[in-house]
Amino acid sequence: MKNTIKKTGIILFTMLLAINLSNCKSVENANNKQKGAVIGATGGAILGAILGNNIGKGGNGELGAVIGGVVGGGAGVLIGNKMDKQAQKIEEEIPGATVERIDDGIVVTFDENSGVYFATEKYNINNASQETLNKLVGVFKEYPNTNILVVGHTDSSGNEDYNMTLSKNRANAVTNYLTSQGLSYGRFTTNWFGESQPMYDNTTAEGRAKNRRVNIAILPNQAMIDEANQQTGN
């Protein structure tokens, strides 16, 4: 597992992005409930960090998805320990996925080579992907005090609008499957970015395969934060 990545300076940029968040194409494609979840519950920090970090860092959009609301002091240490254990559990259960601890959260990346993937132009959850997601469900049930962000992406093949819809359908398919296995829908926020957030070279077959991905960011919810604060006397 990669070391915790400390993001500084991006938060101010994120706040500026959040002001114009409703103009982003991905948010325009979200329904009102999903807009409220992102803008209301997180102040736009998660989605803003994805866009801002990608613009500023050349493609690592999801690595900025958990910078908002970092808890400091003793409470932050307690939360960090819990998230470390959860990240380790995900690595053990799903060795093909990329698991990264970032500030108070975890980012899991699935592409065609790491457990959750889709056939060309399809968005149904196939049997292999179900097996992987079932393992993730087990971890989420073991650690219930977290919120979960699901983000869909495509490569640059095909029409831009079509890719936006495809990434939306794939992200929603993952969220719907996870919630169908007994996880509370209230824990989830779903977003999609089509081909606009590549992390790899779309001119190569390998790069396109990696860009056809779903990211899952896992964040401590308010219950976890409150419990940590109580334990440390904050």
What structural domains does the chain harbor? 2-231 (3.30.1330.60)
Q: Is 15 exposed, middle or buried (0-12, 13-18, 19+ CB in 10 A)?
A: middle
Q: How confident is the model at residue 70 (pLDDT cuts 50, 70, 90)?
A: low
Residue tagged 């975890």 (tokens) = 106
DSSP 6: P
DSSP 21: G
Average pLDDT estimate for 59-66: 38
Q: In which element (H, E) is residue 228 found?
A: helix 222-231
100-141 per-position pLDDT tens digit: 777 777 888 887 777 788 877 888 898 989 999 999 999 999
Residue tagged 């938060």 (tokens) = 11
